[in-house]
Amino acid sequence: MSRPVTIFTGQWADLTFETVCAKMSSFGYDGLEICVWGDHMDVRKAATDPAYVAERREILAKYGLNCWAIGAHLPGQCVASLYDPRYDGFVPEGHRGSREKMRAWAAEEMKYTARAASNMGVRVVTGFVGSPIWNFWYSFPQTSKEQVDAAFKETAELWSPILDVFDECGVKFALEVHPTEIAFDYYSSLKILDAFERRPAFGFNFDPSHLLWQGVNPALFLRDFSDRIYHVHMKDVAVIRDGRSGILGSHIEFGDARRGWNFRSLGHGHVNFEEIIRELNAMGYSGPLSVEWEDSGMEREFGAKEACEFVRRVDFSPSEVAFDAALRT
């Protein structure tokens, strides 16, 4: 099994799409997980304009690249979240300032994203769904069970019409389990699957880094949710307990050595990627291994090239024979 190695373009959206294609091709990547911001993918154009789709595909082909997933994290975040002024940094003018305006834009944007993915020949959209209760994660004042249940129900109600469009387009949505989402760890992931009545359109974009710093074993997450892993991020994190720092970050910026954890370029953190590959082999995952490159302490082009090499080195196929088969009579 030779899984394609791709890179998520969200951290490279300051560069033009063609510039990113040229760089990632030269670094050895097989393709891109294209984000829907910067100039990388205008989903409304891709949903309605065949010429725009042809142009995106021509640029990919020019550099020998493919696309297996589109990343819609920013609009997806706004569907179920409460209004947050920080979202005004990426919500278009005219939709800022209230949850209702923000949500209306985001829901339509996600429907366009499903259609855009279908037109691009892509069958997975990765992203966030938001959360009506993320700011209630610590139960003081007390967060009641009724409030929690209502939030999961609300999230499912907001997303169900969007997932109907995904179904119509033959595209699946893969939630990146992540802080600020309704599902951010193991048990909240179980709960959101139940809220959606386990409809096939909804699954997960596996990212080990967010699980590890919370204390969740990424390999066990893969094993238990194997039928819902629609996409895989390769991303590392270093978790350092020095007696002063904790997992909540202390309102210290990423990259600062005083933090209790920091994202690292692949191979420079504490994620056990061998166990992840073994679990992916056991579940028969043959999709892309998509690098999400985030490391405040490393030059990003050096890191992206090294990360591609790391993924190719750490990935391996499952055995086709039992090692002790020759001993049997």
pLDDT in tens, 89-108: 999 999 999 999 999 999 99
Asked, for residue 255, whether it belongs to a domain, the answer is no
Domain that holds residue 149: 5-237+265-327
Asked, for residue 152, whether it belongs to a domain, the answer is yes
* Parallel/antiparallel/unpaired status of strands 261-264 and 236-239: antiparallel
Bridge partners of 125? 70, 173
CA distance readout (Å), 285 to 27, 232, 322 = 24, 9, 20
Mean pLDDT calculated for residue range 321-325: 70
pLDDT in tens, 238-289: 999 899 999 999 999 999 999 999 999 999 999 999 999 999 999 999 999 9
Asked, for residue 314, whether it belongs to a domain, the answer is yes
Express as a percent the part of the chain with pLDDT over 90.
Answer: 95
Mean pLDDT calculated for residue range 307-319: 95
Asked, for residue 254, whether it belongs to a domain, the answer is no
d(CA 258, CA 246): 10
**324 pLDDT tier (thresholds 50, 70, 90):** low
Residues of the chain by 3-state class (helix, strand, coil), percent to 5: 45, 15, 40
Domain count for the chain, please give it.
1
Asked, for residue 226, whether it belongs to a domain, the answer is yes
d(CA 108, CA 230): 23
What is the pLDDT at residue 322? Answer: 74
Mean pLDDT calculated for residue range 303-310: 98
d(CA 321, CA 130): 44
pLDDT in tens, 4-54: 999 999 999 999 999 999 999 999 999 999 999 999 999 999 999 999 999
Asked, for residue 205, whether it belongs to a domain, the answer is yes
Is residue 320 classed as helix, strand or coil in its secondary structure?
Answer: coil
Average pLDDT, the chain: 96
CATH assignment at residue 73: 3.20.20.150
DSSP string, 190-216: HHHHHHTTT-TTEEEEE-HHHHHTTT-
pLDDT in tens, 54-86: 999 999 999 999 999 999 999 999 999 999 999
Asked, for residue 244, whether it belongs to a domain, the answer is no
Asked, for residue 25, whether it belongs to a domain, the answer is yes
DSSP string, 140-159: SSPPPHHHHHHHHHHHHHHH
Comparing C-alpha atoms, which of 98, 103, 106, 46 is closest to residue 72?
106
Give the other-Cβ count within 10 Å of 328's Cβ: 6
